[in-house]
Structure 1
Amino acid sequence: MRPTWPLLALTLLQGVSWGVMAVVAAALVGGWPVSTGTVQAWEWLAWGTGALGGSASVFHMHRLAAARYVLRRLRSSWLSREALSTGGYMAVLSVAVALRVLWPQASGLWEAATLLAAGLGAVAVYITAMLYATIPAMRSWHSPLTVVVFFAAALLSGGAGAGAVGALLGGPGLGGLPGLDAAFALVFGALVSLQIRAFRVAAAGVLAATGTGLAGRPYRLQDAGGSRPPYRTQTQIWPVLPAAVRTSGYAAVLVLAVVGPCLAAAQGTTGLVWGAGSAWLGVALSRWMFFADATHSSRVWFADQPKTPSPVRREPGRPYGRRREDSV
């Protein structure tokens, strides 16, 4: 699939936002000795990344006037559920941030709003992942592994961001974050390795010789084309990545998102800042590969595959389409 920057920004920043809120919720529930200023900075980071991600999604719409209909299909559309869950998460997070700034004495209300925002953020990440995992035609994504990878990427990027902010502020209570980031990185690396294999299996199952990879059933035409190329050829059908680009891309993902945070964790809190930069670059590259290396079933009809000569032979000197007189 063609990677578009609004989708990249939405899925990445939404994950960072919830990952930071997961750290905040863990600090509250676990009683971490973190300063009030650090926790407030974490919430501002979560709010800022979530707001940027939600704003980026607007640029993915082809017709802004149709945005008012986005919540009409909550019973059947994961896209409608995504809009509702993301909006609800940002609304509750905004309340939590406002309570912390305007009414710091109400610590109980702030903690309740913070934990509620963390829970709604987890729901929003799940729904966003299901939006991709429930597409049968996108063979690379149609798996529960997609949901798990989304959560792992969110925890890695959010945990790394929280650690970097805490290190820059110099607050106490960050001794456990380097080890936690390293654990997130190792889990993310293992899941990405499984995802690489799943993508190769999907690509091998969608070929002219093997078919679409979908179950045999009657199909209906969704896009007959017109004055411009069909939507399938604009978005879903993306040139196959060369083997060298694919190999180097996934190698860079593992180095940046796994090796970098683990080396940073070995330095303790002093390595949290550059470890966060490495983790963010790795997660961003992995999300680009998630779109660019995906295989859609309609590639069978539109992909540039080796062509075989037609077995039909025309008689010399006789054009195509003309009927023989003796066959009338």
Structure 2
Amino acid sequence: MHPATSVILFTTLSGVGFGFLAWLGVDPSPPTGLGAFWAFTLAFGLAVGGLIASTFHLGHPERAWRAFSQWRSSWLSREAICAVAALLVMAVYAAALIFAGRHLPLAGWIGAALSLLTVFTTSMIYGQLKTIPRWNTPLTSALFLSYALTGGALLSGRITAAVMLLVITALLQFTWWRRGDSALAESGSTLGTATRLSDRGTVRSVAHPHSSPNYLMREFIHVIGRKHAQKLRIIALLLTAALPILILVFIPAPTVALALAALIHLAGVATARWLFFAEAEHTVGLYYGLR
């Protein structure tokens, strides 16, 4: 699929933002006063900034409010509802810590659960699409949640948890790529099934169905060279896991190490997200003979 900048920013920023909120919510001794203000400002800024970025991918951003009405059938609508609920609960939790110095553990745990549920609903927007076999796997949700928890652990200063999660995330990402590379072939979809002519023999494309690219071709068909993709995968793994782990292990200053590791990790997540969309083979491409 076309790797739109708005969607990459949305999945990258909102994921780490809600992951950070989740860690703040379960913290048995969270910061208070000014420390809490800056922590929650960063967490809310990332989460809300990502959500705002997502609206720029809509044809009519002013109609985004309508997403709330389709919760029975749409994961996008469920995501919107969960996001608002998480932000409202965490706002109460944050206000108590900042202005009253009071810790409301129940509100924190509920807010943390809603934050992770928001990340899960985001992942299901993509994971439930059978037309994109690479995405259509429970590993997609596991990967989104892992990235959120890892980024949140880095931002919340949990070095031990961050190192463990960085390793887990790298393994999940590698497994997701390996499984995804054969997903389209194993789905059974071909040019014959796309045109429903498979019962008449081998089907091949003689000419494109259209003389010029149309909406489906622009949005759902994006071809990336295998060598280029492999290089970007290596870069993504280096940035998301390898370099942050080395920084956390060998730099003695925890604050500097965490800040640097978090920035590099975030750059790696953005790279992995670009690949997430660029490598996604929509079955509509079979109809156009582009797979």
Tell me which interval the TM-score lies in, with the shorter structure as reference length.
0.7 to 0.9
Q: Which runs of 4+ in 1 moved over 6 A?
A: none
Report how far residue 96 of structure 1 moved. Answer: 2.9
Match of 2:138 among 124, 144, 150: 144
Name the amino acid aligned to 1:159.
A
Cα distance in 2 for partners of 1:144, 1:208 equals 23
Q: Is the 8 A contact 1:161 1:276 kept in 2?
A: yes
Report how far residue 20 of structure 1 moved. Answer: 1.1
Secondary structure at the residue paired with 2:149? helix
Name the amino acid aligned to 2:286.
V
RMSD: 2.7
Secondary structure at the residue paired with 1:2? coil
Cα distance in 2 for partners of 1:45, 1:283 equals 18
Q: Is the 8 A contact 2:20 2:155 kept in 1?
A: yes
Report how far residue 93 of structure 1 moved. Answer: 2.4
Match of 2:217 among 207, 228, 233: 233
Deviations 1:274-322 (A, max 9, x none): 21122111111111111111111111112436xxxxxxxxxxxxxxxxx
Cα distance in 2 for partners of 1:52, 1:68 equals 16
Q: Is the 8 A contact 2:134 2:180 kept in 1?
A: yes
Match of 2:39 among 26, 39, 42: 42
Relative to structure 1, the CA distance from residue 280 to residue 64 in structure 2 (aligned partners, 3 Å threshold; closer, same or farther) is closer
Look up the match of 1:14.
Answer: 14
Secondary structure at the residue paired with 1:60? coil
Cα distance in 2 for partners of 1:229, 1:95 equals 49
- Matching of residues 1-328 of structure 1 within 5 Å: 1-28=1-28, 31=29, 37-101=34-98, 103-105=99-101, 107-109=102-104, 111-163=105-157, 177-205=158-186, 208=190, 230-239=214-223, 241-266=224-249, 267-268=251-252, 269=254, 270-304=256-290
Name the amino acid aligned to 2:91.
S
Q: Is the 8 A contact 1:237 1:303 kept in 2?
A: no
Q: Is the 8 A contact 2:32 2:97 kept in 1?
A: no
Relative to structure 1, the CA distance from residue 67 to residue 21 in structure 2 (aligned partners, 3 Å threshold; closer, same or farther) is closer
Mind listing any 5+ residue stretches in structure 1 that lack a counterpart? 164-176, 217-224, 306-328
Cα distance in 1 for partners of 2:7, 2:103 equals 36
Q: Is the 8 A contact 1:21 1:42 kept in 2?
A: no
Cα distance in 2 for partners of 1:178, 1:97 equals 23
Q: Is the 8 A contact 1:157 1:283 kept in 2?
A: no
Secondary structure at the residue paired with 1:281? helix
Q: Is the 8 A contact 2:153 2:159 kept in 1?
A: no
Give the structure-1-normalised TM-score.
Answer: 0.75
Secondary structure at the residue paired with 1:41? helix
Name the amino acid aligned to 1:184.
L
Give the structure-2-normalised TM-score.
Answer: 0.84
Name the amino acid aligned to 1:45.
L
Cα distance in 1 for partners of 2:54, 2:20 equals 20
Q: Is the 8 A contact 1:138 1:294 kept in 2?
A: yes
Cα distance in 2 for partners of 1:160, 1:92 equals 23
Q: Is the 8 A contact 1:19 1:156 kept in 2?
A: yes
Report how far residue 262 of structure 1 moved. Answer: 1.2
Secondary structure at the residue paired with 1:70? helix
Q: Is the 8 A contact 1:205 1:211 kept in 2?
A: no
Report how far residue 40 of structure 1 moved. Answer: 3.8
Relative to structure 1, the CA distance from residue 113 to residue 299 in structure 2 (aligned partners, 3 Å threshold; closer, same or farther) is same
Q: Is the 8 A contact 1:179 1:265 kept in 2?
A: no
Look up the match of 1:318.
Answer: none
Report how far residue 26 of structure 1 moved. Answer: 3.6
Mind listing any 5+ residue stretches in structure 2 that lack a counterpart? 199-208
Deviations 1:189-227 (A, max 9, x none): 100111111221124447757856xxx9xxxxxxxx99x
Secondary structure at the residue paired with 2:131? coil
Cα distance in 2 for partners of 1:130, 1:158 equals 20
Name the amino acid aligned to 2:160.
G
Q: Percent identity?
A: 25
Query: Paired residues, what number?
Result: 274
